[in-house]
Structure 1
Amino acid sequence: MLDIQTTDAAIPATDPATIRREDYRPPDWFIPEIELDFQLGLERTVVRSKLDVRRSKSAKYDAPLILNGDDLLPVNVLVDGKKWNEWKLEEGNLTLPLTGAAHIVEIEVELDPSTNTQLMGLYGSNGMLCTQCEAEGFRRITFFADRPDVLSRYKVRMEGDKQAFPILLCNGDKVEEGEAEGGRHWAQWNDPWPKPSYLFALVAGDLVANSDSFTTRSGKEVELNIWVRDGDLPRTGHAMQALKDSMRWDEEVYGREYDLGLFNIVAVSDFNMGAMENKGLNVFNSRYILADPEVATDADFDGIEGVVAHEYFHNWSGNRVTCRDWFQLSLKEGFTVFRDQSFSADMSSAALKRIEDVRILRAAQFPEDAGPLAHPIRPESYQEISNFYTATVYNKGAEIIRMMHSMMGAENFRKGTDLYFDRHDGEAATCEDFVVSMEDGGGIDLTQFRVWYRTPGTPRVSAKLSHNPQTGTATLELKQSIAAGGAKPGPSEMVIPLRTALLNPETGEHDGEQLLILDKAEQSFTFEGQNDHPVLSINRGFSAPIILENSRTAEELAFLSSHDDDPFARFEAMQQLMTGYLTAQITGTPADRDIILQAIGAVLADENIDRAFLAEIILLPTEAFLGDQMVEVDPQAIHDAREKLRGKIGVQFERKFRRLYKQCVPGEFSLSAEARADRKLRNVTLGYIAASQVEDAAEIAYDQYCDANNMTAMQGALGVLSHLDAEERGHAFESFYTRFKDNALVLDKWFTMQAMSQRSDTIKRVDALSRHPDFTLANPNRVRALYGAFAGNQVRFHDPSGRGYAMIADMVIALDPQNPQTAARFIPQLGRWRRYERGRSELMRLALEKIAATSNLSKDVAEQVSKSLA
């Protein structure tokens, strides 16, 4: 599952129970076979289940059968064909005192999907019926052992009104279909592969398909369908191509073939997550399926490609081999994120993809490690599992896999993954199972490396390079420490692979890159043949997810930004150069601005530089990232310092930026690397031209908006105009709304760009937009588009009045009863209140306390708030 961030909305009278990894024990009962019958209706659906239950050999003879339920009541219960009244409900779960080793249990329940605003279980979405079962949504459909280590083969019969639900979809293969009385029809689906209940899926609605096929390397033809509403069909081509590319890549790189004759994807407009990997029937948030140049940016096209790949790759890393329990979530998610990142790197630019991945890690995961919600990639406890679909589990989890890949090499890594898939196919595995397979298959000892799985926090590595001209040697001294949740860092002994090179200070050349393994609190490495003091290039390619503290001078960083042959290291040097200057400005420490201007001038003068990379390397660090470098965060001071430098760069290179802007003239739309690079650089240079405060900036941006033949150019122009006090701004946003008001995904962009505005009236504008006829709390995409964007607007969300905090708190309180999972995603924005200057810190804490004082909070929100205030 890709999480873009419901569970029962009512909190029990006592605090929610804490579930601990150390308390895991195998199930008392297994359910190898399940048959489901759905009589479908938007307001009334009847679910009849038939469970083949088998007592575990390790279970006590009198252990009852306990089936999880959430807001369900059994209409009828039969055991071995006879009505059974000896059952009871305890905390929503159905308990049946059974003796013997095996039984057939039949249960009937009734649901009202139209009232399911949590979007978990079976729910209605614009006339469709859809399911979402990860993590614990299946228990909202019927009573079942809703845990990932109970794997079952599913046979599903669906029946519904043919006019309302002409398409009936489920996991596996459709084996039979027919007509029923009263204008109804039915379909029978069988999934031959055992799966946990969280991978169950059902969709019924009025849909059309983009159909294609893929022939596997063994010669099997697989039918492919992307199901959407009729008007959306022309926007599915990119997703279909991404699916076929993913299938081919997984065969070539991991040797994994698809294992059914049919693969279906359905796009749904009401969805809490990005997408869900249900076996053979992936359900997607429509934003990760629908695209054409008119409505989707280049970033949207990339997102679709990456998410389609992610969910397809789960067929093996998540479905064929699943998780034993939810503490092992990174087993499937971290591994699969690494796989989708690698795929995207192979499909486009590996250098740019690595910059993007690290930017996301630093924006989402590093703050998580430094805040009150810090946890290891394999958590030890939770109250609500939905709260652990985090950047730590996903993105840091991927970095852990990447480090293994770096240390083992591609060939041995492949041997390890082959053994993992072969050894655990059809099983519910653990993170330890994966690590052991990598050791056995790849020939590596990962004993000490396992510390990453149980340690929260981001390691800090200090690096100091000294030179001895008499011996011609250079010595690199490394020290590591770690802390989580804002605690003081202490010595650590994580295994940290550092790709390192020493560059000649005159030519920028080096004798080759080395992979240094730091596995002690302090360690030194000596390099021979260094007649001149070299320039240190370290953590190249961001080979380890660390915070690097080094003594490189501004001059050395500027040199690296022009000469390093590792693209990420070159980018990183410029970022460190800019960050060092800006943090000095914020704290009142003297710093040299001219060296930054010289470094930017050097890359602008580089005729061999890739234009997309140029657009990346001249971007300033974000305000959020700068705040993460401060002991005490003052958002206004950060904003002012950054805007001042941005303006100076704009003024200094205005003519160069104008020339580049004109050189990147868009032609006929293309997704080629060259066309995408031109669009990217054109938007970046437009931003700098506007920052220089030239009189014609708004006119240039408005002309780009009016002339745009694609959403990337249009959104780039609107993004610049959103910050300006110019009449063109109003004209552009009015025009954009009129043109796209009937396209929900594009209208989300309209909300987002206004919420991200740096204008002083943004809070007032967001408040007005929350009452706009097109805004609704019922759609997670729309909530994220407005409030999620605003919470990321550092200078306006952190307005010293506290109005931004109060707005988010009020929204969370209003949304929690409807959709607690989405509501809980906003708590971390307030949860780092201890990091901010005193005035803002107090106001953030008060906002959290207001939420905490609300009655009937969901487990999702209550857990996040209590940990944030602890």
Structure 2
Amino acid sequence: MRTETPVTLYLKDYAPPAWLIDTVDLHVAIFEGHADVKTRLACRRNPAAVAGPMVLNGEALELVSLTLDGTPLDPARYAQAGERLTIDASLPDECMLETVVRIHPDKNTQLSGLYRSKDGYFTQCEAEGFRRITFFPDRPDVMAKFSCAVEADRERFPQLLSNGNPVAAGACAGDATRHWARWEDPYAKPCYLFALVAARLDVLEDEYVTASGRRVQLQIFVEPGKLDQCGHAMAALKKAMRWDEQRFGLEYDLDRYMIVAVGDFNMGAMENKGLNIFNTKYVLARPDTATDADYQGIDRVVAHEYFHNWTGNRVTCRDWFQLSLKEGLTVFRDQEFGADTHSRAVTRIQEVRALRIGQFPEDAGPMAHPIRPASYAEINNFYTATVYNKGAEVIRMMHTLLGRDAFRRGMDLYFRRHDGQAVTCEDFVAAMQDASGVDLTQFRRWYARAGTPRLHAETAYDAVARRYTLTLTQHLAPTAYEKRLAESGQPVVEGVLHIPVALGLVLPDGSDAPLRLAGEPNAVGTTRVLSLTEPTQTFIFEGVPAAPVASLLRDFSAPVLLELDQTDFELAHLMAHDSDAFNRWEAGQRLATRVLLAGVAAGGSGTDWIPDAFVAACGRVLDDGLAGDPALAAEALNLPAEAVLAEAVVAQGDTIDPEAIHTARVTLRRHLAARLRDKLEAVWTTLAPTTAYAPDGSQVGQRALRNACLAYLAESDAEYLQASVVPRLTAQLAAGGNMTNQIAALATLANLDLPEREAALADFYSHWQTEALVIDKWFSVQATSRLPGTVGHMRALMQHPAFDLKNPNRVYALIRGFCGANPRHFHAADGSGYALAADVISDLQAMNPQVASRIARSFDRWRQFDAGRQAHARAALERIAAVEDLAKDVAEVVGNALKA
């Protein structure tokens, strides 16, 4: 039987739940091969809703019994069909409903609901996993107080955890081999925040004293033998708790806070109230097993899930269309934490790079949607870069328009109004507007409009009048989203956006000009935020002493595509002098993109398209890296990614040629390596480590720049490479004790067709085969290799004993790494990369549709390639679409791609 077309849900059809649940009392008894779940629901009719039957969601549940107020319910009064249990409307206005179901977590490969992992049983209920545990109205606006008793074998599963606070525990009557524990959560929550763990784990304990003097017990549970790898996560948690108190006045509200790390987890982590379930990737770290990026990722993810306690838990979403209400806001909060904890400039650069690689193409592809979509078929497909990353940019724009103090007042008002409620994006914006007095009516369109706006800028300088004129024009083209809306008869939101444009004017001497708009008596600072609210607006600045270079979108003040015609000289001037660190980097990226697009047009051949001025600018970056911020220099030397260049090619109206893009990028790297060898050598030598490893800002920047230099030197001619660079790479691998340097060396060797490559990969695996997260890195460096034959090597790696299609981390490292971060080979002209992806998606979709659908998103931009590649991609997509009983997650992604 073929897959049915996924059912589309619409925001306009939202209606309050007919029934509310005041309390949920769960008893989960885990046995070998199954679990029995007894649920008591205190139900009452919702006076704010249209009266109707009680509809409970349930998936993969065996209904054992159903009672109403202590009496078995007549089967004629309920019906179970598909994923719904419907009880007739003749129920009393208040009642106690009790169900007993049997589930099979050991067979749950979807990792949604209750499932078995190596060390025990764990849950993942967001977005709709609770229905795989018991029958319940599985929607976020049904908030209830939960209590949960967990029962399991004492020896095999000594830890029994759930949300809230522990209230009782003991041995099971009649069976001394089993035990139980009972937990109560004093705060009402939606069922997606429920969590349960029954496992054998080691625990790291600590304590945190809140600003008001309350003592909170902190616990991090990890697989046995890994306690020495979770100290950084504990330190990150305490930093996040203190930061949230200081920045937003938010204090933790329970007696304990628990993090549990599990190796099989579809997401990064989950903010379940008081009991966060984490992917081990974002908990475990030790200098010899984790990179600097891993340490920073732990900081950010631990903070993100902790911050959700208020922005997501205490105030949650009314419905899943409002997902960005909690995710966009919380990403912004963890970004600000990251900026305060690490380098603000480098943090912002990394955020924008991720936005351009992941979200901008999404805006231009078949799954385009605004941060608050008007419809969806499968909610798991909307945990996207748009909802998270662009959602955070929308919050940041509000922060920019209101200012830090007014934004804080808006947050305070939001919590005063809505603590304990399930609310909408409009509720958040209303709090910001009311607290600040800033009219955000037009700004709200960011929530409803898909696509990346184009911002066109034209400038003029009148030397006699000392007047500078800036004209800004915005344009937002229709996307696949508007097409879907029109096809379904939905209204399309139109009208121009409210775009904050942060501006500086850099004078010939490198200083910033004081900014005085026409009509103002005095200059007000050297950076101004201009509000673009019309299709075209002109801003005139008086008293500008000399012709300046415009520094637009400082700190990337809006997620737009900037169209500003600036010369190479002007971009180099900004690279050297802009007081905004982000725009110094941005000027370099724009200049590099211009050079690389010329290289793409030349097919990557020769080097005539590489200007000497660009080489000189990169040389100055190296000099500045030694004299100033090496982390910023490392970012500046990182050329625009091939995915970003592909979007730039599309913007020119051309067809993407992944081979030409790759060749141009490699050619430029090799040219820089040859021309700047002496400087690269000098920086590499000067930044040799002199102290023991620490993941602090100074060392992180030095390692980043030193490894960037070594990677450039590896692009050298064969003689120099073999004589000078390869010995350094192998020595860096052999040194041990520092995974940042080791994986940098291994990744560089993975791109070199040398005997040392295979020896290094084999030795690395032999040494680290018992450390799962390190082996993920081993798979990843091979998946992203640029060497010929990578597709065939991928198929061989899929047969490796360490590869497990059921483990999301392993699939992300190898398969998603290949599809998403190796465009040259994924988009191979012979279609071999597409065929590999289609094989994996077809096999994976039945066991884990969430992960399969994420891999399927790699096909989003298939229509932007040449006819031959399009034919191969279409064949792969059609083959996936033809799979019997195709998971609806994958069906939605593939269906939209084929219709685009």
Same-fold call, TM cutoff 0.5:
yes
Secondary structure at the counterpart of residue 427 of structure 2 = helix
Secondary structure at the counterpart of residue 555 of structure 2 = helix
1:697 Cα deviation from its structure 2 partner? 2.3
Counterpart of 2:571? 557
Assess, with a 3 A threshold, how the Cα gap between structure 1 residues 19 and 91 changes in structure 2: closer, same or farther: same
CA distance in 2, matches of 1:42, 1:820: 26
User: Does 1:104 pair with 2:104?
Assistant: no
**CA distances 1:767-807 after superposition (whole Å, capped 9, x unpaired):** 10000011111100000110111112011111111100000
Counterpart of 2:64? 75
Counterpart of 1:842? 871
1:837 Cα deviation from its structure 2 partner? 1.8
Alignment of 1:690-709 (within 5 A): 690-693=714-717, 694-695=720-721, 696-709=724-737
Structure 1 letter corresponding to 2:85: L
1:23 Cα deviation from its structure 2 partner? 0.2
Structure 2 letter corresponding to 1:552: Q
**CA distances 1:583-628 after superposition (whole Å, capped 9, x unpaired):** 1221249856112112112222335321111111122111111011
CA distance in 2, matches of 1:819, 1:570: 43
Secondary structure at the counterpart of residue 638 of structure 1 = helix
Alignment of 1:23-38 (within 5 A): 23-38=13-28
Contact 1:493–1:520 (8 Å) recurs in 2: yes
Secondary structure at the counterpart of residue 48 of structure 1 = strand
CA distance in 2, matches of 1:526, 1:487: 37
Alignment of 1:599-678 (within 5 A): 599-606=617-624, 608-631=627-650, 632-666=655-689, 667-678=691-702
Structure 2 residue aligned with 1:786, among 814, 833, 849? Answer: 814
1:487 Cα deviation from its structure 2 partner? 10
CA distance in 2, matches of 1:548, 1:604: 27
**CA distances 1:480-516 after superposition (whole Å, capped 9, x unpaired):** 1012547999996211111111111233433211111
User: Does 1:494 pair with 2:513?
Assistant: no
1:80 Cα deviation from its structure 2 partner? 0.7
Structure 2 residue aligned with 1:427, among 412, 416, 421? Answer: 421
User: Does 1:510 pair with 2:521?
Assistant: no
CA distance in 1, matches of 2:347, 2:510: 28
**Greater displacement, 829-838 / 642-651:** 829-838
Structure 2 residue aligned with 1:88, among 57, 62, 79? Answer: 79
Counterpart of 1:6? none
CA distance in 1, matches of 2:478, 2:811: 30
User: Does 1:689 pair with 2:713?
Assistant: yes
Counterpart of 1:716? 744
Alignment of 1:308-387 (within 5 A): 308-387=302-381
Assess, with a 3 A threshold, how the Cα gap between structure 1 residues 492 and 601 changes in structure 2: closer, same or farther: farther
CA distance in 1, matches of 2:633, 2:623: 10
CA distance in 1, matches of 2:58, 2:494: 46
Contact 1:275–1:283 (8 Å) recurs in 2: yes
**Greater displacement, 419-428 / 491-500:** 491-500
Secondary structure at the counterpart of residue 565 of structure 1 = coil
CA distance in 2, matches of 1:157, 1:620: 54
Counterpart of 1:7? none
Secondary structure at the counterpart of residue 545 of structure 2 = coil
1:444 Cα deviation from its structure 2 partner? 1.1
User: Does 1:22 pair with 2:12?
Assistant: yes
| Gap runs ≥5 in structure 1 | 1-10
Assess, with a 3 A threshold, how the Cα gap between structure 1 residues 207 and 506 changes in structure 2: closer, same or farther: same
CA distance in 2, matches of 1:730, 1:99: 69
Contact 2:658–2:823 (8 Å) recurs in 1: yes
CA distance in 2, matches of 1:229, 1:20: 42
Contact 1:480–1:493 (8 Å) recurs in 2: yes
Counterpart of 1:5? none
Counterpart of 2:600? 586
Q: CA RMSD in A?
A: 1.6
1:520 Cα deviation from its structure 2 partner? 0.9
Assess, with a 3 A threshold, how the Cα gap between structure 1 residues 762 and 484 changes in structure 2: closer, same or farther: farther
1:42 Cα deviation from its structure 2 partner? 4.4
Contact 1:373–1:485 (8 Å) recurs in 2: no
Structure 1 residue aligned with 2:796, among 744, 755, 768? Answer: 768
Query: If the length of structure 1 is used for normalisation, what is the TM-score?
Result: 0.97
Counterpart of 1:851? 880
Structure 1 letter corresponding to 2:187: W
Alignment of 1:462-481 (within 5 A): 462-481=456-475
Contact 1:179–1:185 (8 Å) recurs in 2: yes
Assess, with a 3 A threshold, how the Cα gap between structure 1 residues 197 and 232 changes in structure 2: closer, same or farther: same
Contact 1:480–1:491 (8 Å) recurs in 2: no
- What is the total number of aligned residue pairs between the two structures? 859
Counterpart of 1:3? none
Assess, with a 3 A threshold, how the Cα gap between structure 1 residues 318 and 42 changes in structure 2: closer, same or farther: farther
CA distance in 1, matches of 2:791, 2:386: 31
Structure 1 letter corresponding to 2:83: G
**Greater displacement, 527-536 / 11-20:** 11-20
Contact 1:77–1:84 (8 Å) recurs in 2: yes
Counterpart of 2:753? 725
Contact 1:699–1:728 (8 Å) recurs in 2: no
CA distance in 2, matches of 1:364, 1:54: 44
Secondary structure at the counterpart of residue 459 of structure 2 = strand
**Greater displacement, 111-120 / 695-704:** 695-704
Contact 1:42–1:129 (8 Å) recurs in 2: no
Structure 2 letter corresponding to 1:684: A
Counterpart of 2:521? none
Contact 1:492–1:520 (8 Å) recurs in 2: no
**Greater displacement, 423-432 / 793-802:** 793-802
Query: If the length of structure 2 is used for normalisation, what is the TM-score?
Result: 0.94
**CA distances 1:53-100 after superposition (whole Å, capped 9, x unpaired):** 000113445x11111111213100100110112221022211111332
1:761 Cα deviation from its structure 2 partner? 1.6
User: Does 1:244 pair with 2:238?
Assistant: yes
User: Does 1:172 pair with 2:175?
Assistant: no
